[in-house]
Chains A and B, each alone.
Chain A
Amino acid sequence: MSSARHIALVGMPNTGKSTLFNRLTGGNARVANWPGLTVELATQRVLLGSQMARIVDLPGIYDLSGGAEDERVAQQFLAATPLQALVVVLNACQLARQLALVLQLKALGAPLLVVLNMSDEARQAGIRIDTAGLAAELGCPVLAVSARLGEGVAELRTAMGRMLQQPDPHTLDLSRAAPAADWHAQEVALWKRHVQHPPTLAAGPTARIDHWILHPAAGLPLFVLTMFALFQLTFALGTPLQDGIGDLFSWFRGAALQPLLAHAPALLQGILLDGVYDGVSTVLSFAPLILLFFMLMAVIEDSGYFARAAFMMDGLMSRVGLDGRGFVMLMMGFGCNVPALMGTRVIRDPRGRRLTMLTIPFALCSARLQIFLFLTAALFTQSQAPWVLTGLYLVSLLVALGTAWLLRGRQICSEPFALELPPYRLPLWRQMFARGWGECRSFLRMASTMIVAGVVLVWFLTHYPDQHNSFAEMLARAMAPVLTPIGIQSEMAVALVFGFVAKEVVLGALAVITGTEGAALAQHLAGSMDHLAALSFMLFTLIYVPCVATIATVRKESRSNWFAAGSVVWSLGLAWVLCFVFYQSARWFFG
Chain B
Amino acid sequence: MSTLLALPLHQSATVLDLATPVDLTRRLAAMGLRRGCQVTVLRRASWRGPLQIRVDSHTELMLRRIHAAFITVSAEVAA
Q: Please give the residue numbers on chain A whose beta carbons come within 8 Å of chain B beta carbons, in ascending order.
A: 12, 62-63, 65-67, 93-94, 96-97, 100-101, 179-181, 184, 197, 200-201, 206-207, 210, 214, 216, 307, 310-316, 318-319, 324, 348, 414, 416-422
Q: How far is the CB of B60 from chain A (nearest CB, A)?
A: 4
Q: Is the CB of B23 within 8 A of A419?
A: no
| A348 contact set on B, CB distance < 8 A | 23
Across chains A and B, the number of contacting residue pairs, with CB separation under 8 Å, is 111
Report if B52 contacts A (CB, 8 A): yes
Pairs across A and B, CB under 8 Å, 15 listed: A62-B30, A63-B30, A67-B23, A179-B26, A206-B60, A214-B43, A216-B46, A307-B62, A314-B45, A314-B50, A314-B64, A416-B20, A417-B27, A418-B63, A420-B61
| B50 contact set on A, CB distance < 8 A | 311, 314-315, 324
Please judge, given known A-B contacts A181-B29, A310-B62, A324-B62, whether A316 and B43 are in contact too, CB under 8 Å. Answer: no
| A324 contact set on B, CB distance < 8 A | 49-50, 62
User: Contact string, B39-78, partner A, CB cutoff 8 A, digits 1/0?
Assistant: 0001101111110100111111111101100000000000
Q: Closest residue of chain B to A12, judged by CB?
A: B30
Q: In the A-B complex, list the 4 residue pairs whose CB atoms are closest, starting with the nearest.
A: A315-B49, A315-B47, A97-B32, A62-B30
Q: Is the CB of B31 within 8 A of A63?
A: no
Please judge, given known A-B contacts A12-B30, A310-B62, whether A316 and B49 are in contact too, CB under 8 Å. Answer: yes
Interface size on B, residues (CB 8 A): 34
Q: Please give the residue numbers on chain B whose beta carbons come within 8 Å of chain A beta carbons, in ascending order.
A: 20-21, 23-24, 26-34, 42-43, 45-50, 52, 55-64, 66-67
| A66 contact set on B, CB distance < 8 A | 26-27
How many angstroms between the C-alpha atoms of A160 and B63 in the bound complex? 38
Q: Is the CB of A416 within 8 A of B23?
A: yes
- Name 14 extra pairs, CB < 8 A, besides A97-B55, A418-B63, A421-B60: A63-B30, A93-B58, A94-B59, A96-B58, A97-B32, A97-B59, A210-B42, A216-B46, A314-B45, A316-B49, A318-B49, A318-B64, A324-B50, A418-B61
How many angstroms between the C-alpha atoms of A319 and B56 in the bound complex? 31
Q: Which residue in A180, A181, A314 is a CB contact (below 8 Å) of B62?
A: A314
Q: Closest residue of chain A to B20, judged by CB?
A: A416
Please judge, given known A-B contacts A94-B58, A316-B49, whether A416 and B21 are in contact too, CB under 8 Å. Answer: yes
Max chain A C-beta neighbours (<10 A), residue from B30, B48, B60: B30
Q: Closest residue of chain B to A100, judged by CB?
A: B30
Q: How far is the CB of B4 from chain A (nearest CB, A)?
A: 12
Q: Closest residue of chain B to A423, judged by CB?
A: B60
Q: Is the CB of A312 within 8 A of B60?
A: no
Q: How far is the CB of B11 from chain A (nearest CB, A)?
A: 15
Q: Is the CB of A311 within 8 A of B62?
A: yes
Q: Is the CB of B27 within 8 A of A62?
A: yes
Q: Which residue in A65, A197, A313, A420 is a CB contact (below 8 Å) of B57?
A: A197
How many angstroms between the C-alpha atoms of A243 and B47 in the bound complex? 45
| A93 contact set on B, CB distance < 8 A | 58
| B49 contact set on A, CB distance < 8 A | 311-316, 318, 324
Q: How far is the CB of A549 from chain B (nearest CB, A)?
A: 32
Q: Is the CB of B32 within 8 A of A96?
A: yes
How many angstroms between the C-alpha atoms of A94 and B55 in the bound complex? 10
Please judge, given known A-B contacts A94-B58, A96-B32, whether A315 and B48 are in contact too, CB under 8 Å. Answer: yes
How many angstroms between the C-alpha atoms of A311 and B50 in the bound complex? 7
Q: How far is the CB of B55 from chain A (nearest CB, A)?
A: 8
Q: Is the CB of A214 within 8 A of B52?
A: yes
How many angstroms between the C-alpha atoms of A315 and B26 in the bound complex? 24
Q: How far is the CB of B8 from chain A (nearest CB, A)?
A: 17
